[in-house]
Structures are given as C-alpha cells and as structure tokens.
Amino acid sequence: MKGVLFDLDGVIADTSVYHFQAWRKLIKDHFNRDLPDELEKQTKGVSRKDSLTAILNYLDIKVSDADFQEMTDEKNKVFRELLASLTPQNILPGISDLISQFKQHDVKLSLASASLNGPYILEKLQLNSVFDAIADPSKVAAGKPAPDIFLAAASAINVDPKDCVGIEDSIAGIKAINKAGALSVGVGAKNELSEAKLLFPDTSALNYDQIESAWEEFK
Ligand code: G6P
Ligand code: MG
C-alpha cells in the first residue's frame, strides 16, 4: 500500500452535515419546501451542480440556467458561513491517529474530494501540510460516481491506483474508488455502503492494520 486517497466531508471532518444544512436552507428560502433526510444520501459525495440537479428533480422543479447558477452560488455562501467556525476540533475521531499511522508507514496522502472548498477546509483544520497532494475537482471531466477524481488523486502522488486505498462515506464515492481500481474502505452503514470492500461503522473504528491486511489480500 503506497497511497491513501481521502474523501473529506464526512471522513476527515463532519462537514457533510453542513452541506445538507445549506441545501435545506436554500430550498426553504426559495420554494418554502422541506428536504427529506433520504436526499442527503443522494447528494453525499456528489458535486455542487449534480446535487442541485438531484434536489430539483426530486422536488420536480425547473429553473432557468441563470437561477441555477445563482442558487449554487447562494448555497456555497451559506456553506462557507457554516465553515467559518471550523477548527482542528472538527476533525472526526480516529482520523488524526490514522493519518499518523499512514505517515509512519510512508504511505502518501492525497485528497480526492469533490468539494471546491477542499483546500479551504484543510486549512481550517490545519491539515494542509500533512497532505502530499490535493486533486482539483474543477479539472476532472466527471464527478463521483465516475472514478476521475480518485485517478487524479493517485496520479498526483505518482502511485498506481491499485497500490492505493480510498476512504469514503458516500455511495457515489465507493463506486468511484472501485472503478478507479483502488481498495474501497467505507465509513458508515452496511445497507448504504454495501459495495465497500472493507467497512467501518464510523471513523473512530478505522484501523491501519486492518486496512493494510485488506489491501494485501486485494492486490
Ligand atoms: C463533497 C460533499 C458533497 C458536495 C461536494 C461539492 O463531495 O460530500 O455534498 O456537494 O463535496 O462541494 P462544494 O464545496 O464544491 O460545493
Ligand atoms: Mg464524503
């Protein structure tokens, strides 16, 4: 195992909650409609535009291109306001230890987040210096569940995807890791992340030795 491709929201920090909170506010403000919890699963790991498309499809609402653009900008403004108070205390349990273990074993760290706010969030968490690379989601052709961002993250650390593990909390992300040819490590519920090759119920359960032996079997 030479590289680890990290998702960010919901794996490194619990910012996935903020994403959905921001979508809920936007939809309430614009249409006075509430979003059901189940939509959160569908928007997790999915780009900003693809998330709004999924939400509007669910609500059966059509908007002009200009309004669509304005709404994604507005959602991002709300999300950035929620991020303002982010500190290293928002790093999820077990993640700092896991990162140290990867470092000790000379495993390179690369960020494979769909979020255009990734560098800003890592900065707030004081984690940018521990990452060897951050893949730029604005430069990839297709978002998760396509493998592109994971391929870009592996290439940014010069490691073959099959020598990498990817860590994800979203259905779209697990599919993307599998397609990229890396070992998929899921964080979350079994009924949701059934396609993950290795699954932990939450970040505090993530274990370097288990990840390493799963990769030895997988390679
Ligand atoms: C992550 C989150 C998604 C979010 C996407 C884009 O993958 O899980 O919920 O839509 O990033 O984030 P951005 O910060 O660019 O809007
Ligand atoms: Mg995530």
- Contact of 145 with 107, CB cutoff 8 Å: no
With the most atoms of ligand 1 within 8 angstroms of its CB, the residue from 9, 35, 79, 140 to mutate is: 9
Residue in the structure block whose two tokens are 């964080």: 187
The atom of ligand 1 lying closest to the CA of 169 is 8
- Which of 7, 50, 132, 163 is the catalytic position? 7
* Ligand 2 center–CA 106 separation, angstroms: 24
* Ligand 2 center–CA 212 separation, angstroms: 21
The ligand that comes nearest to the alpha carbon of residue 17 is 1
pLDDT of residue 28: 98
* Ligand 1 center–CA 32 separation, angstroms: 23
Give me the residue spans of the domains in the chain: 3-14+92-218, 16-83
With the most atoms of ligand 1 within 8 angstroms of its CB, the residue from 21, 23, 48 to mutate is: 48
Cα(22)–Cα(157) distance, rounded to whole angstroms?
Answer: 33
Q: List all residues whose CB is within 6 A of at least one atom of ligand 1.
A: 9, 16, 19, 43-48, 51, 76, 113-117
7 a catalytic residue: yes
pLDDT of residue 196: 98
In tens digits, the chain (219 residues) has pLDDT values of: 999 999 999 999 999 999 999 999 999 999 999 999 999 999 999 999 999 999 999 999 999 999 999 999 999 999 999 999 999 999 999 999 999 999 999 999 999 999 999 999 999 999 999 999 999 999 999 999 999 999 999 999 999 999 999 999 999 999 999 999 999 999 999 999 999 999 999 999 999 999 999 999 998
Cα(77)–Cα(97) distance, rounded to whole angstroms?
Answer: 32
pLDDT of residue 74: 98
- Which of 9, 50, 132, 148 is the catalytic position? 9
- Contact of 125 with 12, CB cutoff 8 Å: yes
- CATH level 3 topology of 16-83: DNA polymerase; domain 1 (1.10.150)
Tell me the two tokens of residue 9. Answer: 């929201």
One fold for both 3-14+92-218 and 16-83?
no
Residue in the structure block whose two tokens are 């030795």: 209
Other C-beta atoms within 10 Å of 57: how many?
11
Question: Looking at domain 3-14+92-218, does it have CATH number 3.40.50.620?
Answer: no
pTM: 0.96
- Contact of 144 with 39, CB cutoff 8 Å: no
